[in-house]
């Protein structure tokens, strides 16, 4: 058994050896064949690549020449178009610039003309300011301006019967106050109590005071104080003038109103320490400007309306009493009317009951033709133009 195995092993080794030799020989042949094939293929590939490279070189040369020609043509075309565009832009730019210059010169000419015109207007305005300054320098003219402004305010707030212009408040004097307000109270002769209002405009002293404020650096304190004192004395003189001429109790109130036509002048009077209180205490004068005069008159107007409502309240109560009495009578009449309507309703209800009873009785009766009905009842049938049928009853009674 072992001999057989050994022999089999020897045979297999010999077989494996022969197979290995054959495989090695086959591998060597295949390698030589592959080397030969690779060498032939490499040669053919080299030839093919060279041929392809030659063709590619020719093609690239043709393409380069074509591209260069196209680029040259495109460049020439672009240069030509750019030149045309440059000419168009130059023409448009030249036209626009000329147009802009023309418009600018026209606007400048118009502006210069307006400036020239404005200078003329400013000269006229300067002349007008000078004339206005001359007007304001005139005491009588300033008084008229203040009076006009005062009258305009009174006209806007009060009704015509609540104030009076150029009123004489003293029988023995020819002086007339510019305006008086008629208060609801009555004096000794059963006439309205009058509140005097007069306008004052101490412009010279006020203007000197304003100039002193502007040039305070050039003036010393004594000069400014002197100008301020002159202004206060001028205001007090005007207040004393109103008190002496126009306050006359019991015809007028025991105080009067001094109207100053500018808010600046009114503010300057209020700014003076104790001046406003002095005018009220010593001269019985209350100073008002345009703004607080409106407020003062509005409060007076509200007082007038309140007094009117109180005066009319008794009349309103009497009217309400009469209305209440008449309303009671109206209730009685309304109750009677209700009874009559109720009676009429009852009669109509009874008629409806009898109508339904008659209708039940007539259900078994046969209807007659229209012609025979007309002959029996004596009714005429009239056809109107709008095809509506209306029956006019001519019989005064119906026969059974």
pLDDT (tens, 9 = 90+) of the chain, 400 residues, equals 677 777 777 888 788 778 888 878 887 887 888 788 778 778 888 888 888 888 888 888 888 888 888 888 888 888 888 888 888 887 887 888 778 777 877 888 788 788 777 776 766 665 554 554 544 445 444 557 788 888 889 898 888 888 999 988 888 888 899 999 988 766 656 778 889 999 988 888 888 888 888 887 677 778 888 888 999 999 999 999 999 999 988 888 889 999 998 898 999 999 888 999 999 999 999 999 998 888 888 888 777 766 656 555 566 567 766 766 776 676 777 788 878 888 888 888 787 887 777 777 666 666 666 676 666 665 444 443 344 443 333 333 333 3
User: What's the predicted TM-score (pTM) here?
Assistant: 0.45
> Cα(151)–Cα(39) distance, rounded to whole angstroms?
131
Residue 162 has φ and ψ, to the nearest 5°, of: -95, -5
- List the structure tokens of 294: 């409106």
Cα angle 249, 251, 252 (rounded to 5 degrees) comes to 65
212, 227 in Cβ contact below 8 A? yes
Three-state SS string across 287-327, please?
A: EECHHHHHHHHHHHHHHHHHHHHHHHHHHHHHHHHHHHHHH
233, 279 in Cβ contact below 8 A? no
Per-residue pLDDT, 258 = 93
**Which residues are registered as beta bridge partners of 286?**
257
> Cα(87)–Cα(200) distance, rounded to whole angstroms?
79
Per-residue pLDDT, 125 = 64
**Strand blocks (E) in the chain:** 163-167, 177-186, 192-199, 256-259, 285-288, 379-383, 389-393
Q: What is the DSSP letter of 111?
A: H
> Cα(195)–Cα(172) distance, rounded to whole angstroms?
19
Q: Nearest Cα to 181, choosing from 264, 82, 299, 97?
A: 299
Buried b / exposed e across 146-166, counting CB within 10 Å, b at 16+?
bbebbbebbeebbeeebbbee
Q: Nearest Cα to 201, choosing from 285, 294, 287?
A: 287
β-pairing, 192-199 with 256-259?
A: parallel
Residue 385 has φ and ψ, to the nearest 5°, of: -65, -30
**How far is CA 196 from each of CA 165, 186, 204, 263, 294, rounded to the nearest angstrom?**
10, 15, 25, 21, 16
Per-residue pLDDT, 41 = 78
β-pairing, 389-393 with 163-167?
A: unpaired
Exposed / middle / buried, residue 53 (Cβ in 10 Å: 0-12, 13-18, 19+): exposed
> Cα(63)–Cα(70) distance, rounded to whole angstroms?
10
Per-residue pLDDT, 198 = 93
> Cα(111)–Cα(116) distance, rounded to whole angstroms?
8
Per-residue pLDDT, 159 = 85
Per-residue pLDDT, 55 = 84
Q: Which strand (E) or helix (H) includes residue 32?
A: helix 2-137
209, 268 in Cβ contact below 8 A? yes
Exposed / middle / buried, residue 259 (Cβ in 10 Å: 0-12, 13-18, 19+): buried
Q: Which strand (E) or helix (H) includes residue 356?
A: helix 290-361
> Cα(107)–Cα(103) distance, rounded to whole angstroms?
6
Q: Nearest Cα to 245, choosing from 278, 277, 283?
A: 283
- List the structure tokens of 284: 């019985």
């Amino acid at each position: 058994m072992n001999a057989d195995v050994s022999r089999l092993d020897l045979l297999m080794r010999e077989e494996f050896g022969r197979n290995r030799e054959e495989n090695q020989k086959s591998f060597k042949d295949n390698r030589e064949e592959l080397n030969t094939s690779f060498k032939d293929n490499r040669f053919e590939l080299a030839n093919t690549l060279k041929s392809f490279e030659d063709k590619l070189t020719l093609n690239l040369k043709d393409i380069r020449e074509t591209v260069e020609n196209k680029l040259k043509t495109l460049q020439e075309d672009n240069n030509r178009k750019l030149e045309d565009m440059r000419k168009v832009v130059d023409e448009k730019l030249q036209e626009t610039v000329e147009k802009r210059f023309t418009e600018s010169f026209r606007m400048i000419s118009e502006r210069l003309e307006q400036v020239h015109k404005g200078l003329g207007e400013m000269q006229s305005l300067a002349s007008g300011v000078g004339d206005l300054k001359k007007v304001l320098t005139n005491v009588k003219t300033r008084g008229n301006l203040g009076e006009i402004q005062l009258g305009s305010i009174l006209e806007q707030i009060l009704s015509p019967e609540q104030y009076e212009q150029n009123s004489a408040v003293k029988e023995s004097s020819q002086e007339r106050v510019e305006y008086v307000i008629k208060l609801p109270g009555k004096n000794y002769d059963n006439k309205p109590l009058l509140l005097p209002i007069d306008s004052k405009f101490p412009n010279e002293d006020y203007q000197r005071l304003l100039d002193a404020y502007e040039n305070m650096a050039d003036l010393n304190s004594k000069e400014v104080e002197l100008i301020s004192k002159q202004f206060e004395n001028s205001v007090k003189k005007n207040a004393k003038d109103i008190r002496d001429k126009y306050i006359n109790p019991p015809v007028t109130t025991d105080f009067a109103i001094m109207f100053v036509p500018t808010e600046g002048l009114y503010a300057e009077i209020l700014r003076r320490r104790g001046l406003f209180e002095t005018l009220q205490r010593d001269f019985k004068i209350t100073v008002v400007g345009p703004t607080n005069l409106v407020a003062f008159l509005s409060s007076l107007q509200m007082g007038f309306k309140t007094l009117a409502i109180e005066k009319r309240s008794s009349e309103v109560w009497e009217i309400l009493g009469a209305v209440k009495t008449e309303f009671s009578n109206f209730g009685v009449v309304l109750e009677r009317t209700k009874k009559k309507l109720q009676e009429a309703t009852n009669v109509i209800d009874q008629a409806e009951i009898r109508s339904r009873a008659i209708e039940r009785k007539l259900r078994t009766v046969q209807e007659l033709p229209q012609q025979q009905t007309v002959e029996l009842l004596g009714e005429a049938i009239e056809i109107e133009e709008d095809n509506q049928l209306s029956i006019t009853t001519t019989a005064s009674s119906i026969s059974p």
